[in-house]
Amino acid sequence: MKTRLAVICTRNPTPVLLETVAGLKTYYPEFDIVIVDSASTDKTILQQLETDPACIVEYADNKGYELGAWCFAFKKYPDYQVYMFIQDTLTPTRRIDGFSPDSLPTNIYCTFHYRASLQCGGYLADLRDVYRDTDCAFLSEMDGGSMITGGAHSSFMTHRDNVPKILQLENAHVVKNISKTKVHSWLSERTVGIMGDRLGLHRIDITPYFRKTHGGR
């Protein structure tokens, strides 16, 4: 068994998932790949991947989607040393420069949410690094356009010892959708850097190494 695991969360995947898997094989061949599906009604792509010896496809009706998939996979596959958690709409485009698994106990590879400004009437507020403050991260998702650049938001990679701490912190921020059919944790998933910062981890930007394709779901 390999010592590194890539977990892809998915629901009604598009062919982009095939590109995600291909990118992982090309740029991170030392990683095992587990795909966690959350109650897809269209399993065409998943059935195709079930025949791929490089992939394990798991079916879990987790209402947390990304967070639920990550928790499910970590609990079922707890013995890896390095974990990469990504969406089915993220495609690796090249290997992270200087990627060093040995440094992962003190590092977290995640998306940087860059500097932005917020106009409030006649006052221009500099949000600085918006991922440093949960309230600013929330403001960045307000109507009128996102102030966060870089699309690889729901993804991170770190040492196994850090994973339960990050997932536990995220659980504290889960909120329910009005429809009550799905549990959302979008705020904390898109600001994993905040969690790493609270844990004293050094953050390394992965945004340049992944391509984000909107899933249209």
**Per-residue pLDDT tens for 3-56?**
999 999 998 899 999 999 999 999 999 999 999 998 888 999 999 999 999 999
Can you state the percent helix, strand and coil of the chain, rounding each to 5?
30, 25, 40
Helix (H, G, I), strand (E, B) or coil at 191: coil
Q: Taking the CA atoms of 76, 183, 175 and 35 in sequence, report the sign of the dihedral they define.
A: positive
- CA nearest to 157, candidates 212, 100, 213: 100
Q: Domain segments of the chain: what residues?
A: 4-95+154-175+206-212
pLDDT tens digits for 89-126? 889 999 998 888 777 888 888 876 544 444 444 444 44
CATH number for the region 4-95+154-175+206-212 comes to 3.90.550.10
Note the pTM of the prediction, 2 decimals. Answer: 0.76
Half-sphere exposure of 43 (CA within 13 A, CB side): 13
| Three-state SS at 210 | strand
